[in-house]
Amino acid sequence: MARNVTPQRKAINTVIAWAAGLLIFFPILWTILTSFKTEAQAISSPPVFLFFDWTLENYAVVQERSNYMRFLWNSVIIAGGSTVLGVLIAIPAAWSMAFVPSRRTKDILMWMLSTKMLPAVGVLYPIYLICIELGILDSRAALVVVLMLINLPIIVWMLYTYFKEIPGEILEAARMDGASLKAEILYVLTPMAVPGIASTMLLNFILAWNEAFWTLNLTAAKAAPLTAFIASYSSPEGLFYAKLSAASTMAIAPILILGWFSQKQLVRGLTFGAVK
């Protein structure tokens, strides 16, 4: 039986939710506002919030100094490629864990997830040498594979959770009708788990888009994504906060827009199977 929630309780929960959301969003808002300030206003004390001379000079300088579209295209290919490749590998793996009984399934999942606890710098040197040996250092292919492997445990874990909510009897019925393993996964399982798959892809895309450690260490110029684009505005002479904020805003704008338009799908997928 559902609990009755009083209007006062709803109002309190709404205020708390908005306060938490604004607190989390404030650093992003401050970065966006700083990108429209002059360098003097960006470091002024006390800080200037809204009442300043708005200017687009920083964006013009960033656009003139850097090839923004090349960095953006690299980010799209790297994040999108690692996401698609990871899902293609994770769907069969999650299917086998969800529908092929094994006492070791939970142990395997925990082991996979525990690999995320390994400090990235601990495996940087061997991966760096492998990329040199294969001749793929500073290439988008290397970053696609590395980021896919880094996020693969999360993809498998999330898809396993979604697949477990699908009744196994439906897949058994498909087998009795003569469906092959490929047809079972492609035409029966995958369509039923579209919300979960979509939210998993969105989350993995965001994680790959924001990855900085590997993109800064495995690229130099050709395959550098937007994280390297932002880092290029840190110079030995000091930080140019207004221009750095403009570069950061240009880097996060695509993912903010994507998140805004896909938020319903993301919430739906993340809550998939939570209510029975």
The DSSP bridge partners found for residue 238 are: 235
Q: Is residue 173 part of a domain?
A: yes
Q: Is residue 210 part of a domain?
A: yes
Amino acid at 155: I
Q: Is residue 238 part of a domain?
A: no
Picking from 169, 177, 171, the residue whose alpha carbon sits closest to that of residue 190 is 171
Q: Is residue 28 part of a domain?
A: no
How many separate helices (H) and strands (E) can be counted in the chain?
15, 2
CB 218 within 8 A of CB 173: no
Q: Is residue 181 part of a domain?
A: yes
Over its length of 276 residues, how does the chain's per-residue pLDDT go in tens digits? 456 678 888 888 899 999 998 999 899 999 999 999 988 888 888 888 878 888 888 898 888 888 889 999 999 999 999 999 999 999 989 988 888 877 888 888 888 888 888 888 888 989 999 999 998 988 999 999 999 999 999 899 889 988 888 888 888 888 888 888 888 888 888 888 888 888 889 889 988 998 989 998 998 888 889 988 888 776 654 568 888 889 889 988 888 888 787 777 666 656 654 444
**Domain containing 70: what range?**
66-232
Q: Is residue 154 part of a domain?
A: yes
CB 78 within 8 A of CB 223: yes
Q: Is residue 146 part of a domain?
A: yes
CB 248 within 8 A of CB 230: yes
**Helix (H) or strand (E) segment spanning residue 160:** helix 140-164
CATH number reported for the structural domain that contains residue 87 in this entry: 1.10.3720.10
- Number of structural domains (the chain) is 1
The region, left, alpha or beta by phi > 0 then psi within -120 to 50, assigned to residue 238 is left
Q: Is residue 179 part of a domain?
A: yes
